[in-house]
Amino acid sequence: MIKIGIINKGPILNWGKNFGYWFILKYFQDELKEAGYEITFYDGINKKFYNSDFIIIDSRLITDTYINKIRKKFSFNLNYDYLENIFKISKKNPNIIWLDLTDSSGTTSFEVLPYVKKYVKKQFYKDKDFYRKSFFRNRYYSDFYQKKFSLEQDYKFKVHKLLEEYDNKLVLGWNIGVGNFFDIVNSNYINKYKTIFQSLTSNNFKELYKNCLGFHNKKRKIRDVFCSFNLRKNSMKKSIHFQREKVYSILKDHYKIRNDRLNHKQYLTRLRESKVSVGAFGWGEICYREFEAIKMGAAVVFPKVDYLETWPNVYQDNFSYLSYELDFSNLIERIDSILNDQDLQESLIVNSQRIYRSVYSDLGLNYVLNFFKKITS
């Protein structure tokens, strides 16, 4: 039996902790144990955690020190004193699996590579040579917008580039789409917290999966286009948030949409009523909203991400979503192609939901088993 310890720090009543990124391991815990993997979650680093055969550490718990949070806020380079802690941990257990949970494919902490066995991320650039280049704000898309529109003053970001000798340490994990989104549409917040309590007492996550947001496909929609963003207009990091502002501006002029403030239930209901959900990048490329849109039965239009690898991969152009170019040149054309073609709209919804449903099937289990083979080999 291979013992794997995972740091899972966070408030007990936090939905993300119980049903977010780690829900897939809790759902398949019996199958994983039968396959020889014993998964234990820890709230902090202790002796039992160190005694695991392999230890998985969330990068944010180490890198997001109080000082670094302040430095990020004001766009200063990070303080790398935390490397000393990684070195100390590696002396007690060298089988560190570093879990990079930062939002963007380009934001990395490759400085830890000499001290860890494997480096896991939710999504990677397909071409690893991208990690040997310099991108503005360490993001491919920010670099594109900065060069095209000169949005910010030039600023040199300190980044540790990927050395070829460490390429084999990179292992693709899974993205936030595996999370069990609570069905707030057909329930309420009282039931939500009741469900969390049950998760802490019953340890029956397959039963709890029944509280997951279902897969809707409302045939008759009353809205054409839905788009709702936090535009972050006051942010100094213009190149990161420019895409959202531009997309909203184009859609407001063309389709007369409004960026209304909605609660979560209203937001999901709007999605279910809409033919098309138009997305844009946030702090990173992959956001919750596309997975919610798929669940609610809206066809997704989203920036082209063919330069990324991720799982579950609902970003298969012209199959499970339609992409638009980073320069927005075909954005309206792509939206209108769905609005004017009922068969296309239906196929995008069906195909994206089929991919998404497979996460909690034998396909999903096999993906997780292969992942553990890679990180423990």
From the CB of residue 158, how many other CB atoms can be counted at a distance below 10 Å?
Answer: 10
pLDDT in tens, 8-38: 877 666 666 667 889 999 999 999 999 999 9
pTM of full prediction above 0.85? yes
Percent of the chain clearing pLDDT 70 (strictly above): 93
Look at residue 111 and tell me whether its pLDDT is greater than 80: yes
pLDDT, averaged across the chain:
91
pLDDT in tens, 59-106: 888 776 555 555 556 556 666 677 888 999 999 999 999 999 999 999
> Is the CB of residue 312 less than 8 Å from the CB of residue 177?
yes
What is the predicted pLDDT for the residue at 159?
Answer: 84
What is the predicted pLDDT for the residue at 13?
Answer: 66
From the CB of residue 255, how many other CB atoms can be counted at a distance below 10 Å?
Answer: 18
Look at residue 45 and tell me whether its pLDDT is greater than 90: no
What is the predicted pLDDT for the residue at 70?
Answer: 57
Question: What gap in Å lies between CA 232 and CA 245, rounded to an integer?
Answer: 9
What is the predicted pLDDT for the residue at 144?
Answer: 97
Question: What gap in Å lies between CA 243 and CA 279, rounded to an integer?
Answer: 10
Domains observed in the chain = 2-178+361-376 (no CATH), 215-358 (3.40.50.2000)
Number of C-alpha atoms within 13 angstroms, CB side, residue 103?
11
> Is the CB of residue 125 less than 8 Å from the CB of residue 313?
no
pLDDT in tens, 255-296: 999 888 899 999 999 999 999 999 999 999 998 899 999 999
pLDDT in tens, 304-359: 999 999 999 999 999 999 999 999 999 999 999 999 999 999 999 999 999 999 99
Q: Which residue has the higher pLDDT, 222 or 210?
A: 222
Question: What gap in Å lies between CA 236 and CA 151, rounded to an integer?
Answer: 10
